Chain A
Amino acid sequence: MMKPVYILSASAISPQHTFDREQFLQPVMSSDNGKLYVVEADYRQYVNPVAIRRMSKVIKMGISTAMNALQQAGISCPDAIITGTGMGSMLDMERFLKDMIELKEEALNPTYFIQSTYNSINGWIALQTKCNGYNQTFVHRGLSLELSLLDAQLFLTEAEEKQTVLAGCFDEMTEEYFFIKNKIDYWKKEIPNSLDLIRHSNTKGTIGGEGAAFFTLTNERGNAICAIKEIKTFQDAELSEVQSGIHELLQAHHLNPNDIDVLLCGMNGDCRQQAVYDMALQEVPTPTVTTFKQLTGEYATASGFAVWLASEMIRTQQVPETITYRKSNTEAIKNILILNHYITGSTSLILISQA
């Protein structure tokens, strides 16, 4: 078993007011059109002003959350930068591909090409922080964030002295992406208000979303907010495999199902993806169950928002009303189990505990 990694700071840009952190998930944002776009931040505070003019939204989101997480932790240059993204900079990729067609592959803009690459954000962060260390971007659809956290855990477990890793994820939604995915039934035909999403789990489809989340991780407890104890990933798994995975995870950490104070589920209102959550609700009979995709919409790295949310719940010892699926008066929030499933067949379990 790998050692836990400690979260020193967490930052998120999401369709909710998560970046300014004045009030925990207040005011709540919603939408009626099946799409949840991020509440944008004042990027100029975090991004090189000369370079910002040519950046697309996801790049500004990624760099700003990364720099904000580092600032909160009081770290100017991490030892490694490890990120995950399902789709990378979609907008730049779309522009580049359209130009290729329209201009018959001639006189193509270099900026769109450079920024369409998945590791573009990591490059920008490395330039801004002058970080020459390990730099990696994982692109594995619904497990991209999880694999970046696993790699960070490996990096920090192998380190012989105190090290810090900046880990995070980012994904954006474009009109084109929404249109294409609609053709393969990703989205709900009858669109509910986003806040009612979970109540519509008897029909196919979900709503689209986007966001970025970054974490400063380290291998020494110090003044950490919380710890990531374990990350388990499954691809195209049978329900019984995930079920066994939950038991193995709890056993490995000497926990009973009752020791999980909050179960944080990635339910997205899609009846085709509900079974894994129904199973977990039986296996982990915790009185407090929460959901988050009514706030973020669905995207490949939505679990990054869940990790941010878990760290905030432990930091503030609060469970906001807006994420409550089932609630009782939990005395203290010590252990949170995140369960997330993505439409491409990936499932993940992340155990977050008090440091």
Chain B
Amino acid sequence: MEDLKVKLKEQIIEALNLQGMTPADIDDNAPLFGEGLGLDSIDSLEMMVLLERNYGIKIEDAREGRKVLESVQSMAEYIQQHRKI
């Protein structure tokens, strides 16, 4: 699980071009949107693409998506249960 979270953080940094950030700068439980990393709606679309491309996960229910994308922790847990790749 720890390895997955580090890898996920690296993928987020690359996909969203978070220049100057390292995985250590992202708290596992900090909210990704709003206060935390300050990501926006286009970033949420980029994260959905990230999940589909790297883990074969397609989230079609927006409410479910919002829960999954709350934090790195919630994303990693969801990936562990639903990954196809």
Contact = CB atoms under 8 A, between A and B. Distances in A.
Interface in A92-129: 103, 106-111, 114
A53 B49 contact: no
Interface SS majority for chain B: helix
Contacts of A106: 52
Nearest to B49: A107
Nearest to A53: B17
B43 to A, nearest CB: 8
B42 A111 contact: yes
Interface string A251-273: 00000000000000000000000
A326 B15 CA distance: 52
Interface SS majority for chain A: loop
A189 B39 CA distance: 47
A47 B4 CA distance: 34
Interface in A23-80: 50, 53-54
Contact of A110 (B17, B19, B38, B42): B42
Contacts of B42: 54, 110-111, 114
A50 B52 CA distance: 25
Contacts of A108: 49
Contacts of B19: 53
A310 B46 CA distance: 44
A165 B79 CA distance: 50
A56 to B, nearest CB: 11
A173 B67 CA distance: 42
B40 interface: yes
Contacts of B38: 50
Contacts of B49: 107-110
A329 B46 CA distance: 59
A114 B53 CA distance: 19
A110 B50 CA distance: 11
Interface of B: 15-19, 38, 40, 42, 45-46, 49, 52-53
